[in-house]
Amino acid sequence: MIAQLLVPRHPVAEWTGWEERVRLMVRPRRYEHVLRVAELAAQIALANGLDDMRAYAAGILHDIARDLPDAELLRLAPPECDIDAGHPLALHGRAARVLLERWGYQDRVVLEAVEDHTTGPRGGNPVADCVYIADVSEPGRGVNADIRELALRDLNAALERAIVSKVTYLQGRGIQVHPRTLRSYHALPCVARQDQGGSASPLTARQP
């Protein structure tokens, strides 16, 4: 089943090809992180009644471009903003999607989760939420255990905590927030309700 998701329209045997391709493209410690993210993303998905197979697949693929040189990231994913141009590492989610599409990967849900894991899920794709939370809270990071535990009970609450705290942290220090992260912030149900009600949230008000 996982093989069919990872390699649509290809034989099941080729699944091992994807795992091996990821392993060869990232540093050994990164690959360990990738395996932990995939496992945790699948656990979070299962606990929330979501598609654990796609969550696992996206976890395996999410950092495939993470260890590419800056020049390659910029070539694969041209900058959309000053942050991208100044910090090409911010592009590794978009670059990963481009690579996977070039290699024939076609599952849109998984591709979107891979693309959005760096800056935040765009909303409407729970698999992307699982991968984003798993990436920031997998045990090897040594942080965000509270978010990990919350996600196993209430994924939406965990996502809200992760994104609101990230935006609050950055803005509190005068650091520009990536436009895609702001999009994730405004896609949160709690913020969308505020937006629709016509009252700007405190974070929006502080955004230059």
Q: Is the CB of 93 or the CB of 126 nearer to Fe ion? A: 93
With 0-12 CB in 10 A as exposed, 13-18 as middle and 19+ as buried, what is 194? middle
- x/- contact string, 74-113, with Fe ion (CB under 5 A)? ----------------------------------------
Among residues 19, 52, 115, 135, the one that binds Fe ion under rule CB under 5 A: 135
The distance of closest approach from Cβ of residue 117 to Fe ion in the complex, given in angstroms and rounded to an integer, is 6
Rounded CA separation 184/171 (Å): 15
Q: Is the CB of 63 or the CB of 160 nearer to Fe ion? A: 63
Q: Which of 162, 129, 10 is nearest to 58 (CA)?
A: 129
Q: Is the CB of 99 or the CB of 191 nearer to Fe ion? A: 99
Within 14-125, where are the H helices? 15-25, 28-47, 52-61, 70-76, 82-86, 92-102, 108-116
The distance of closest approach from Cβ of residue 10 to Fe ion in the complex, given in angstroms and rounded to an integer, is 25
Rounded CA separation 82/134 (Å): 27
For Fe ion, the binding residues in 150-179 under the rule CB under 5 A are none
How many chain residues interact with Fe ion (CB under 5 A)?
3
For Fe ion, the binding residues in 53-72 under the rule CB under 5 A are 63, 66
Rounded CA separation 1/171 (Å): 42
Contacting residues toward Fe ion, per CB under 5 A: 63, 66, 135
